[in-house]
Amino acid sequence: MAIRPLVILPDPRLREKSEPVDAITDDIRALAQDMLDTMYDAPGIGLAAVQIGVMKRVVVMDLAKKDEERQPLVLINPRITWASEETSVYEEGCLSIPDYYEEVERPARVRVAYQTLEGETVEREADGLFATCVQHEIDHLDGVLFIDRLSRLKRERVTKKFAKAAKREAAG
């Protein structure tokens, strides 16, 4: 389909809450394919629609390693229905905050409910990288970035860095 430009911090759209998908249409299927193409091109393991400027509750993920066959997953209107008290720490990055990585603590296990592109409602348990990634992407749909889960100092430092870069690019 198409590789779309990524929305980069400090773009204010990253702070907006995405709208639910009312019906799974050909437009939503095309959006999901564009999101997968964009994610693979970046490369990344997850992408929320807001990251390409579409304010819909759509997430794509693929946790397959480089030498494995692709395993694309599309989640429409995903939501966390349960989270463990136990936590885990993963080093996270974000396609909308390029080349910045930081350790983030999140629930180690979650249950996520979503619709597939076929309209089927699925609820499944997630742990490990899948749990981290699905929480990261659902945060995007709610206008939350992984840097919001860091200390204020780290968050302010990275926010200022990207704001300065955006100003330089706009003046450029």
Which residues participate in catalysis according to the annotation? Answer: 137
Strands 87-94 and 46-48: unpaired
CB of 24 within 8 A of CB of 119?
yes
- Alpha carbon distances (Å) from 116 to 23, 46, 75: 11, 16, 6
DSSP letter for 17, please. P
SS (H, E, C) 38-86: HHHHCCCCEEEHHHHCCCECEEEECCCCCCCCCCCEEEEEEEEEEECCC
